[in-house]
Amino acid sequence: MLSLYNQNISSRLLLGTAQYPSPAIIAEAVRNSGVEIITISLRRETAGGKQGERFQELIKTLNVHLLPNTAGCFSIKEAVITARLARDLFNTKWIKLEIIGNQDTLQPHVFALIEAAKILIDEGYEVFPYTTDDLIVAEKLIDAGCKVLMPWCAPIGSAKGIRDIDGLRSMRAYFPDIPLIVDAGIGRPSHAVAIMELGYDAILLNTAVAKAGNPIQMAKAFAQAINAGRLGFEAGMLEPRDVAVPSTPVIGRAVFS
Amino acid sequence: MHVYVNGREQEIRACFLAELLTELGFQGDWLAIAINDEVITAVERESYKICESDRIEILSPMQGG
C-alpha cells in the first residue's frame, strides 16, 4: 500500500485531467483504471461562465483525492498565491508544486521550487514537488519538509520515456524511504513498467492517456503496466548477465555417441 | 470606481466584493478569489470593501496535469 502524507492509496497511477476529448472521457478513464488521485488546476473564470461549475460537478462525482497544481507558474509568488487559492477552494493541504524555469523545456525551476516549498510547508501544506532527478535538490526539498518527491523522467508532454535511467536509479537508491512519483515525460505503458521496476512508488500521467487514440483503454493499460512493474520489483528481478546460463540441469544429461 | 478583474480594467458600482461578483455575473461556490495577491475566502466576501485600482483575480477549477 502506498502512503502519501499518511494517506493510504491503493492505486499507484495518478492521473492528470487536462487535454481529454471530453469530461465524460476523463470520468471513464478514472473509473476504468482505478485511479484514486487526480490533478486539477485553477484558471480565470469568465463573467457569467459555468466552466468551473461543470468541472466542479464532474470531480465531485469521481470521489477521488484532489491534487491541485500550480502549473503555469514561473515565480515563487505566483505559485504560493495559486496554492493558497487552491487550498481555499478545494479544502485540501495537498499541492502539486510546479514552478517552471524555462518556457520551451518546461523544466522545473528548482531553486524557486525549494523556496516556495519552504513557505508552503510553514503554512501547513503537504507539498508534492515537481522536480528533476538532481540529488542535491531532492535533499533540499526533503530538508524543507517534503515527504514526497516527483521527479520528471523527460520533459512534460514529450512522451520520450526515461532519458536518464541511471539518474532515476540513483535517486531511488539515495532516498529509499521517500515516496518517489515520476511525473512527466512518459509516453507508453512500457515506460511505466521500466520506472516501476526501478522501485518507484507511483507514476503521474496526463498527456500519454489524454491524447491516446482511446484514453479510457490507455488509462487501463497504464494501470496494468504500473501494477506489473511494481509486482516485478517486489518479486526481486534477476540482474542481466553477459554470458548464457542453461536453465535445464546439465547434470544427468544423457550422452549419445 | 475602476478595478482590474482578471487583468481587464472595469468600471463598477459595487462597494463590496460580494456585490461586485453579482454585478459582473460571477456566481457560485466554485470560485477562488484573490485581491492584490491576497486570498479572500467565501465568508469574507460580503464584508470585503473594494478599493480603487484593486487587482481582482477570479478563478475556478479547471482540468490540469
Q: In this predicted model, what pLDDT tens digit does every residue of A28-68 receive, in sequence order?
A: 999 999 999 999 999 999 888 778 888 999 999 999 999 99
Q: Of B3, B56, B1, B61, which Cα lies nearest the Cα of B34?
A: B56
- In this prediction, residue A22 has a pLDDT band, given cuts at 50, 70 and 90, of very high
Identity of the residue in B30, B34, B64 whose CB atom sits nearest the CB atom of A85: B34
Query: Could B28 and A41 be called an inter-chain contact, meaning their C-beta atoms sit closer than 8 Å?
Result: no
CB atoms within 10 A of CB A136: 9
For the entire predicted model, the pTM comes to: 0.94
* Residue A20 contacts B, CB cutoff 8 Å: yes
Asked if A77 has any chain B CB less than 8 Å from its own CB, the reply is yes
d(CA A207, CA A61): 22
Residues A69, B32: C-beta atoms closer than 8 Å: no
Q: Which residue among B6, B61, B65 sits closest to A59, beta carbon to beta carbon?
A: B61
CA atoms of A69 and A88, how far apart (whole Å) = 13
B41 CB neighbours in chain A (<8 A) are: 88
Distance, C-alpha B10 to centroid of its chain: 12
Q: Are A47 and B25 within 8 A, CB to CB? A: yes
Q: How confident is the model at residue A204 (pLDDT cuts 50, 70, 90)?
A: very high
Average pLDDT estimate for A78-90: 97
Active site residues of A: 96
A56 contacts B30? CB cut-off 8 A: yes
Tell me how crowded residue A161 is: count the other CB atoms within 10 A of its CB: 18
| DSSP element (H, E) containing A115 | helix A110-122
The x, y and z cell numbers of residue A151, run together, are: 521527479
> Within 13 A of A216's CA, how many CA atoms are on the CB side?
10
pLDDT at A41: 96
| Average confidence (pLDDT) per 10 residues, chain B, 65 residues | 95 96 90 97 95 96 93
- Check: complex ipTM more than 0.90: yes
Give the number of A-B residue pairs with CB atoms closer than 8 Å: 105
Q: Which long-range contacts (CB under 8 A, 24 or more apart) does B25-31 make?
A: B25/A47, B25/A48, B26/A45, B26/A47, B26/A48, B26/B58, B28/A50, B28/A52, B28/A53, B28/B60, B30/A52, B30/A53, B30/A55, B30/A56, B30/A89, B30/B60, B30/B61, B31/A45, B31/A52, B31/A89, B31/B58, B31/B59, B31/B60
Model pLDDT, residue A93? 97
pLDDT band at A112 (very low <50, low <70, confident <90, very high): very high
Q: What pLDDT was estimated at residue A49?
A: 74
A22 → chain B, closest CA residue = B63
Nearest-Cα distance to chain B for A83, in Å, is 10
Percent with pLDDT over 70 in chain A: 100
